[in-house]
């Protein structure tokens, strides 16, 4: 029913945008788009080409104050070619199949509406405001930003269409088109596999998120090849997708609607654990969580056990970094506990980027203190924490070649 509804909206939109056509010489747009961190995980595709996932997934969109991608796109008959720069380095568009697919799909839509003259080329310049080495969901923010910017440039405004186009770049990018908490409905084809908002960031403003950036120089297995291998070799992945994830989605949506953090945390942890179980059930096995990741898992469970209910939960993407969800009232105790666990011998505190908390007056329960003392970790194994909250979906920064724009009016990147 829901799927049919989206399809009709899509058809309606196509008809609507077909009715207007424009021509112009030069356009410019600069957009910011957020990172999202899944609480119900996307792992495995039904369709590799269209990036149709095995199961629905649900994520929180992080505030762009602390993590975001910024992309400027200029379109003009004064350029002689399509070119792109990512974090200061030129990348060959044609070498990246997914990038080409996104641009070509927007072009097809644009041609039939506002037009894409054959003598016009685009210039793209994109940057992240967070370290790419952090192993965070940079491709989600990046493709959401690119597709949102391209669509807005060509006056394609339907979020479902933008979401499905972003999906063609990187599956989880389709979720970064909305703020708050977002569900990607697996669907069965390009039009039906789209994300939609569950709640806005203002509907559960107490949520806090800590991204614990774990030192890790290598990522042995990319997400794309990892999920392919899981689909081919795990005897449990299909059972998970068909029998467990639907329950997880239902339960967590109910918990979100009821603002039941205890249950939200339980399902989040269970789903993260099961995703990594599927990785381990892959052949050869895939492993993203290391000893540091596990030290955080165990600490969170110990703290929750001490409180008698879940005051925090962890979730791990395809990497060793822990993402901790909690409510604002427990943020200081969590920050203080993790800092103590990773304190350097000289007393230097772990760096917190983003939202800071006053923790001087916070007293950690003796049992938790004893636990931390007995499991002290190497300080250098945790680099820093990005402390943030839920945030909005993408936004347009400017339509001018001004200080917010990453491109010069000759179509080359600044610096």
> Residue 188 interacts with its own copies (CB under 8 A)?
no
Q: Which is nearer to its own copies, 83 or 248 (CB)?
A: 248
Tell me how many residues contact its own copies (CB under 8 A). Answer: 28
Strands (E), 3-107: 26-34, 36-40, 45-47, 52-53, 57-61, 68-76, 83-86, 89-91
Q: Cα(265)–Cα(278) distance, rounded to whole angstroms? A: 20
As measured in angstroms, the least distance from the Cβ of 296 to its own copies is 12
> Residue 297 interacts with its own copies (CB under 8 A)?
yes
Q: Kindly write out the interface string for residues 252-271 of this chain, putting x where it contacts its own copies by CB under 8 A and - elsewhere.
A: --------------x--xx-
Q: Cα(13)–Cα(161) distance, rounded to whole angstroms? A: 9
Angle separating helix axes 331-341 and 366-374, nearest 10 degrees: 30
Q: Segment contacting its own copies (CB under 8 A): 10-18, 99-107, 197-205, 288-296?
A: 288-296
Binds its own copies by CB under 8 A, chosen from 276, 336, 383, 389: 276
> Residue 291 interacts with its own copies (CB under 8 A)?
yes
Q: Which is nearer to its own copies, 167 or 276 (CB)?
A: 276
Q: Which is nearer to its own copies, 214 or 397 (CB)?
A: 214
Residues 244/40, Cβ–Cβ less than 8 Å:
no
> Residue 378 interacts with its own copies (CB under 8 A)?
no
Q: Which is nearer to its own copies, 243 or 366 (CB)?
A: 243
Q: Cα(315)–Cα(196) distance, rounded to whole angstroms? A: 21
> Residue 220 interacts with its own copies (CB under 8 A)?
yes
Report the side by side order of strands in the sheet with 181-185: 36-40, 57-61, 181-185, 194-199
> Residue 298 interacts with its own copies (CB under 8 A)?
yes
> Residue 243 interacts with its own copies (CB under 8 A)?
yes
Q: List all residues 6 or more positions away from 122 whose beta carbon is below 8 Å from its beta carbon.
A: 73, 74, 75, 79, 82, 103, 150
Binds its own copies by CB under 8 A, chosen from 87, 96, 224, 280: 280
Q: List all residues 6 or more positions away from 349 whose beta carbon is below 8 Å from its beta carbon.
A: 339, 343
Q: SS3 of 280, please?
A: helix
Strands (E), 317-394: 322-327, 351-354, 382-389
**Which stretches of the chain bind its own copies, using CB under 8 A?**
220, 235-236, 239-240, 243-244, 266, 269-270, 273-274, 276-278, 280-285, 287, 290-291, 294, 297-298, 301
């Amino acid at each position: 029913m829901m799927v049919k509804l989206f399809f009709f909206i899509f058809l309606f939109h196509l008809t609507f945008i077909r009715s207007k056509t424009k021509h112009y010489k030069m356009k410019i747009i600069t957009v910011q788009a957020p990172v999202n961190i899944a609480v119900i995980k996307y792992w495995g595709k039904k369709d590799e080409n269209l990036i149709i996932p095995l199961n629905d997934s649900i994520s929180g969109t992080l505030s762009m104050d602390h993590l975001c991608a910024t992309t400027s796109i200029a379109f003009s008959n004064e350029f002689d070619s399509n070119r792109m720069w990512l974090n200061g380095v030129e990348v060959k568009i044609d070498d990246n199949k997914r990038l080409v697919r996104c641009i070509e799909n927007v072009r097809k839509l644009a041609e039939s509406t506002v037009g894409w003259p054959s003598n016009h080329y685009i210039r793209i310049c994109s940057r992240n405001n967070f370290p790419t080495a952090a192993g965070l969901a940079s491709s989600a923010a990046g493709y959401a930003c690119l597709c949102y910017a391209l669509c807005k440039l060509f006056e394609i405004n339907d979020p479902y269409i933008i979401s499905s186009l972003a999906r063609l770049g990187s599956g989880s990018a389709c979720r970064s088109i909305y703020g708050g908490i977002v569900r990607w409905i697996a669907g069965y084809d390009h039009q039906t596999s789209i994300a939609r908002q569950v709640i806005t960031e203002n509907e559960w403003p107490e949520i806090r998120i800590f991204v614990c950036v774990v030192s890790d120089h290598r990522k042995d297995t990319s997400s794309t090849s990892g999920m392919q291998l899981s689909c081919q070799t795990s005897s449990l992945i299909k059972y998970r997708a068909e029998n467990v994830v639907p329950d997880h989605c239902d339960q967590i949506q109910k918990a979100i609607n009821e603002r039941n953090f205890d249950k939200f945390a339980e399902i989040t942890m269970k789903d993260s654990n099961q995703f990594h179980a599927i990785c381990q059930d892959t052949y050869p096995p895939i492993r993203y969580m290391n000893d540091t990741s596990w030290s955080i898992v165990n600490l969170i469970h110990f703290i929750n056990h001490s409180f008698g209910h879940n005051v925090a939960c962890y979730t791990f993407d395809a990497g060793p970094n822990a993402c901790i969800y909690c409510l604002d009232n427990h943020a200081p105790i969590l920050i203080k506990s993790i800092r103590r666990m990773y304190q350097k011998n000289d007393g230097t505190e772990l760096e917190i980027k983003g939202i800071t908390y006053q923790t001087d007056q916070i007293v950690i329960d003796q049992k938790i203190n004893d636990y931390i003392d007995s499991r002290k970790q190497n300080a250098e194994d945790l680099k820093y924490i990005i402390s943030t909250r839920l945030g909005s979906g993408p936004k347009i920064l400017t339509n001018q070649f001004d200080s917010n724009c990453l491109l010069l009016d000759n179509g080359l990147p600044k610096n």
